[in-house]
Structure 1
Amino acid sequence: MRLKKFCMMFALLLAAAVNADVKVSNLFSDNLVLQRDIPAPVWGTAETGEKVTVKIGESEASAVADEKGKWMVKLPAMKMNATAQEMTISGKNTLTIKNVLVGDIWICSGQSNMEFGLGSCNAKEDVDSANLPNIRRIKFNHVTAGRPGGDVPRKWDICTPQSAGGFTAAGFYFARKIQKETGVPIGLIDNNWGGTRIEPWIAPCGFEMEKNLANVVADVKKREQAYSTELVKALDPLEKWIPEAKKAAATPGAELPPMPPLPNSPYNESSFPSSIYNGQICPIVPFAIKGAIWYQGESNGGEGDEYYAKMRALIGGWRTVWNQEGTSKDFPFYFVQLANFQQPSESPMGGDGWARLRMAQLKSLEIPNTGMAVAIELADANNPGDIHPKNKFDVGERLALWALAKDYPSTVLRTGGKAADLVYSGPLYKSMKIESGKIRIEFESTGSGLMAGKKEGRNPTVEDKDGKLKRFAIAGEDKKWVWADAVIDGNTVVVSNPEVPQPVAVRYAYSMHPAGCNLYNKEGLPASPFRTDSW
C-alpha cells in the first residue's frame, strides 16, 4: 500500500514538473505553415490555471490551461503571408517558433503510392531543382493506437534539393503545381502508410455514419470484448509473477522468472479499424487545413460497392472530427483512381482485379466536394507488374487541376485565363442511349472535345488522328461480351458490333490492366473506366 501511495505521489510530482513549463504540440515547429483564411487552432500543455498567449504578427489569442494541464487557442483568420514570421507561445516561459508562413495545408494520405518518395521516381532533375522554400512538409511515423491521442513525432522540413527526395512524390508535384500558379505557400502533412487498408484510417464516427458498415462496427466490438476478456484472465498469473520477480530481483545473481504473456491488443494491428486514425490522424486534429489528397485502394483491391461506403465513412468521419468553420467544414478531398497493373487481360467481359474497385472510386465522386485523378494509363510501360508506377508527375498534376479549378478559381494562370475555367477532369460517363443497334455514350468533362490519344511517359498526351478507340466492349440481353467498334461523334462515343444487333450495355477499360485504352479529351486527360450495367 505504501509503495502504491509513493508511486502515485511520484507520478503527480512528475506530472506537475512536466506541466510547469508551457509546451506546444510538435506540430508547431520551426518552418511551420499555418492555414490562411480560417481560425487556426494551436495547442499544448502548461500548469493548470496558467494563462497562455499565442501571437504571430497582428494575430493573438489566449487560453487558460485546464485541470489536466491542456490548453488550446484559436488564432483569428489570417491572410496569406509568404514572408517568414515568428510565432510566440507565452506563459511562465516563452517559446518561439521561427520561419512561419501562412498559406494552405494539404493532408497527403493513403498507402504506398502516396508514401512513395520523389527520390524513387527517376526524377533527378526535379529533385535537383527543388529549391522551393514556400513548400514545406512534415512526415509522420507509422503508429497505431487504441485510443485517440499522442503527439507528432517529427518537425517541418523546407523543400530543398537535399530534402525533396523524401517528400511524397504525388504530394510534391501537387504542391509544386499549385504553388507556382498561385504563389500561396503550401504545407504538406505527409501522413501515409504503405500496404494499409482503408479501414484503419477511418474515424469511429465515420463507421457509425454508414449503415452498410454495421458489420465492421459489430466486429470491432466483438474483438474489443474478446481482448478485454483475455486481459482479465492474464492478470491472475501476472499478480502471482510480481512477488516472485521482486524476490528474484532482490537476490544477487538470481534470474527473473519469465513474465507471463499478455494478450495482444487488436489496435496494434495496422489493419484494425481506426487503429491508424487513432495513432496518426488524431494528433493533427484540429490543425486547420485546406483539404486532403488520397491515394489508396490496392489493399482493398477485391472490393466493389463496399469500398464506396468506406470512402463515405472516411471522408465524412474526417470532416466531422475536424469540424472546421464555414465553407471549410466540408473541406475538399481529392483522390486517385488506381492505375493499371499486371499483364493485360484480353477478355472483353473484364471485371478482373481492381476493375470493381475503380467503379467504387468513380462512384465516390457523388460525395460532395470530391475529385478524382484518373491514372489508368500511368503504369510503367516496360514494367506493368510494378505496383508503384514511377510517374507520380501526372498523378500530382491531375490532382492539382481539381484543386486549382475548385479551390483557387480566381487565380490567373501563367498560361493565361483563370483557374476556374480549367478543364480539370477527363471524360466521365454520364448516360447511354440505344439507337438502331448501337449505343451512344454521353460524357461529362469533355473539355474542348473527345479524341483518341497517345500518352508516353510524362510527355503530354497527343491526339492519334488515325487511331481507333480501344477497350470498348458491348453486350446484349444474353450478357455475352464482345469487343466493340467505338467512334467519336461530337462529345459522344457510338459503340457497336454486328454480332450484337440488340445491345443493352457497354463497358470501357473495365479490367485490371486495360492496355491500350485511349479515350481522352483534347486537354489530354484520360476517360475513367466505366460500365453501364450492374450485372
Structure 2
Amino acid sequence: MFKYTLFAITLFLLSAHLKAEIILPRILGHNMVLQQGKPLSFWGKASAGETVTVQFAAQNQTTSADASGKWSVTLKPLKASAIPSELVISGTNTIRLQNILVGEVWLCSGQSNMEYTMRKNSKVKPSLATQLVDGRNPVDELTYANNPQIRIFLVNRKELGKPDSLHRGWNVAQDSALRSFSAPAYFFAKELHRNLNVPIGVIASAIPGSRIEPWISEAAFREDTYYGNQKIDGEPGKFYEPMIRPLAPFAVKGFLWYQGESNCFLKETTTYSHKLKTLITSWRNAWNDQKLPFYYVQLAPFKYSESKGKVVLTRETLPEFREAQEQVLSLPQTGMIVTTDLADDLSDIHPPFKWEIGRRLALLALANAYDKNDVVAEGPIFEKMKVKGHAIQLAFSQLGSGLISKDGQPLTGFMVAGKEGVFSPADAHINGKHVLVSADNVPNPVAVRFAWDEAAQPNLFNKEGLPARPFRTDKPLKNQLSDSFSPASSPVSRGSDTKTSSSK
C-alpha cells in the first residue's frame, strides 16, 4: 500500500509539473507597439481547459484554452500612449511583457528592395542624399537613431512560427537591431512619427529575390475564380505560411509592399495585376478587414533588356510592368509611389534612396490613412488629353502647387505618334496646368507616351518634388483587365479627349 501511495503522489507531482505553460507567438513580446483605436487580439497555447488572463491598461480579460490548447482574448481599443507599460498574461505561469507602447503598426513586405538593410544604407555615397532629414544626412542615420518611440520587429523565416521564451522579437530602433532592419520600413516609421507624434511599430517580413506567388497562400489561389483550376507555379505559400500567416491577427494599421522585380524579369503584365489583387485581398481576409490600407512601390529604372535570362525582355518591359502595377489601384484603400527619379546606376537593381522610398510611402499614409488634407502625396498623374492642332494638350491630377521641370531644363521623356502608331521624341512644355506635346515630324498626333522606356528618368514634377507617373494614352485593349477588375486609371475614349482618373 505504501509503495502504491508513493507512486500515486509521484505521478501527481510529475503531471502537475508537466502541465503546459502558457506559450505566446513570437510577435507578442517586450518592446512591442500595439495598434491604437482597434480591438487588440492576444493568443497562444496552454493546457486544454486552462484559465488564461490578460491584463493591460486597466483591462482584464479571461478565457479558457480549448481542447487543443489554443486560447485567445480581445482587449478593447486603446488610445495612443508613449508611456512604457507592462502587459501581464497569466495562467499556470505568468508572463510579464515590459516596455509596451500604443500607437501605429505597419507590416512591410516584399523582396530585396524592402529587405535592404540600414547597414547597406550606411554604405551609400553621402552625396546622393540631396535632401537632409532633420538636418542630417540619412546615410548616417545609424549613428544617431535613438528614438525610443520607434519599435521594429524583423521576421525570421525559420523562427517566426516557434515560440521564444524570452519574448525578445521587438526592439527599439537603434544599434545592432536597426542595422539588420529594413531601411524603407524604418524611414517610413520615422516620417510617420515626425508627423503623428505617436509611437510607431514596423514589422519587416521580406525575402530577397522572391516572386509574388510565395507570398500568397495556396488557398487564396484556389478560392479566386480568376485562376480556375490551373496550377500556379512559383511555389505559392512558401513565404506566406512561415512569414505572414503567424502574424495575424496582431492588429496593424496597414501594409507596405516593395516587390515585382522577379516577376518583371518574367515579362508579366496583367497576370501580375491579378496576383497582386489576390495578395491584397487574401491578406486583408487574414486580418478580417478589407479596408486595411495597402501601399506599394512602382519599380525604379533598370536595364531589364540587358538581362541574360530565358525570357527576352525589351526596353518597354518595365513600363508595361509598371502599368500592370498601376491597374491594382482600382482596389479601394490602395496607393502607389513613383520612383523614376530614384536610381543612381541603371545596372543596379537595388538603388539607394531608401530614405525617400520610406518618406513617399509615409506621404501616402498621411494623406489617406490619416486624412492629412494638407499633405501632397503623389506627383502629377495623367488625366486626359485633347488634340489641339499639331499638338496634344495633357491634363493632370495631383498637381500640388503646380507643374515644374525639376532641373529647369526642357521637359524630357515625352513621345508622340500619329495614326500609324510610330512614336517619335517630342517637344513638351508646361502651359499653366497643362503640358503641350508636339513633334515636327508628326503633324497629326493622336497618342502620347511618357517615360515609356526602362531608362527614362524624366523631369516633370510637381512643386512638392514628386515625379509624374509614367503613362501611355494608347494602351491596347488586350492588356486591360476584365470588367470584374477594371482599373480606375485605364483610358476611356471621349470624342477627341482621352481620360484617366486618379488613383483614388
TM-score (norm 1): 0.78
Mapping 1:37-48, distance limit 5 Å: 37-48=37-48
2:273 counterpart of 1:292: no
**Cα distance, 1:339–1:19 mapped onto 2, change above 3 Å:** farther
- 3-state DSSP class of the match of 2:349? coil
Counterpart selection for 2:447 from 505, 509, 519 = 505
Is the 8 Å Cα contact of residues 54 and 87 (structure 2) preserved in structure 1? yes
Cα RMSD, aligned residues only? 2.2
Counterpart selection for 1:428 from 376, 381, 390 = 381
2:150 counterpart of 1:197: no
The Cα shift of 1:366 comes to: 1.6
Tell me which amino acid in the other structure corresponds to 1:505. A
2:288 counterpart of 1:323: yes
Mapping 1:386-465, distance limit 5 Å: 386-409=348-371, 419-454=372-407, 464=408
- 3-state DSSP class of the match of 1:31? coil
2:119 counterpart of 1:156: no
CA distance in 2, matches of 1:436, 1:15: 90
Tell me which amino acid in the other structure corresponds to 1:291. G
- 3-state DSSP class of the match of 1:363? helix
Counterpart in the other structure of 1:31: 31
2:265 counterpart of 1:304: no
Is the 8 Å Cα contact of residues 427 and 438 (structure 2) preserved in structure 1? yes
Counterpart selection for 2:147 from 105, 129, 132 = 132
Counterpart in the other structure of 2:475: 534
The Cα shift of 1:343 comes to: 8.8
2:279 counterpart of 1:314: yes
Bigger drift between 273-282 and 204-213 goes to 204-213
2:327 counterpart of 1:374: no
Tell me which amino acid in the other structure corresponds to 1:219. K
Is the 8 Å Cα contact of residues 46 and 65 (structure 1) preserved in structure 2? yes
The Cα shift of 1:157 comes to: 1.2
Is the 8 Å Cα contact of residues 152 and 284 (structure 1) preserved in structure 2? no
Counterpart in the other structure of 1:218: 230
**Cα distance, 1:205–1:501 mapped onto 2, change above 3 Å:** farther
Bigger drift between 392-401 and 153-162 goes to 153-162
CA distance in 2, matches of 1:64, 1:491: 63
Counterpart in the other structure of 2:480: none
Is the 8 Å Cα contact of residues 469 and 519 (structure 1) preserved in structure 2? yes
Listed one character per residue, the Cα deviations across residues 262-287 of structure 1 (whole Å, up to 9, x for unaligned) are xxxxxxxxx30122111111110111
Is the 8 Å Cα contact of residues 116 and 183 (structure 2) preserved in structure 1? yes
Is the 8 Å Cα contact of residues 112 and 209 (structure 2) preserved in structure 1? yes
The Cα shift of 1:209 comes to: 5.6
Identity of aligned residues (%): 40
- 3-state DSSP class of the match of 1:482? strand
CA distance in 2, matches of 1:137, 1:332: 20
**Cα distance, 1:475–1:19 mapped onto 2, change above 3 Å:** farther
Aligned pairs, number? 436
- 3-state DSSP class of the match of 1:100? strand
Counterpart in the other structure of 2:466: 525
Counterpart selection for 1:340 from 282, 301, 314 = 301
Tell me which amino acid in the other structure corresponds to 1:445. Q
2:388 counterpart of 1:484: no
2:297 counterpart of 1:355: no
**Cα distance, 1:485–1:284 mapped onto 2, change above 3 Å:** same
Unaligned runs of 5+ in 2: 1-13, 125-137, 307-313, 477-504
CA distance in 1, matches of 2:462, 2:102: 36
Determine which structure has the larger helix proportion and give its number. Answer: 1
Tell me which amino acid in the other structure corresponds to 1:372. M
CA distance in 1, matches of 2:198, 2:268: 38
- 3-state DSSP class of the match of 1:191? strand
- 3-state DSSP class of the match of 2:239? helix
The Cα shift of 1:532 comes to: 0.9
Counterpart selection for 1:475 from 417, 420, 440 = 417
CA distance in 1, matches of 2:219, 2:434: 42
Is the 8 Å Cα contact of residues 381 and 398 (structure 2) preserved in structure 1? yes
The Cα shift of 1:351 comes to: 5.0
The Cα shift of 1:288 comes to: 0.6
Is the 8 Å Cα contact of residues 472 and 486 (structure 1) preserved in structure 2? yes
The Cα shift of 1:17 comes to: 7.3
Bigger drift between 124-133 and 94-103 goes to 124-133
CA distance in 1, matches of 2:202, 2:463: 31
The Cα shift of 1:164 comes to: 2.2
Counterpart in the other structure of 2:500: none
Counterpart selection for 1:169 from 173, 183, 189 = 183
- 3-state DSSP class of the match of 1:24? coil
Tell me which amino acid in the other structure corresponds to 1:73. V
Is the 8 Å Cα contact of residues 210 and 312 (structure 1) preserved in structure 2? no
The Cα shift of 1:305 comes to: 1.6
Bigger drift between 45-54 and 490-499 goes to 490-499
Is the 8 Å Cα contact of residues 110 and 196 (structure 1) preserved in structure 2? yes
Unaligned runs of 5+ in 1: 1-13, 224-270, 410-418, 455-463
2:346 counterpart of 1:384: yes
**Cα distance, 1:453–1:152 mapped onto 2, change above 3 Å:** farther
Is the 8 Å Cα contact of residues 362 and 528 (structure 1) preserved in structure 2? no
Listed one character per residue, the Cα deviations across residues 350-399 of structure 1 (whole Å, up to 9, x for unaligned) are 8523111111122222211111111111111xx32111111101111111
CA distance in 1, matches of 2:414, 2:238: 41
Is the 8 Å Cα contact of residues 471 and 514 (structure 1) preserved in structure 2? yes
Listed one character per residue, the Cα deviations across residues 40-67 of structure 1 (whole Å, up to 9, x for unaligned) are 1111111111111111121222221011
Counterpart in the other structure of 2:52: 52
Counterpart in the other structure of 2:486: none
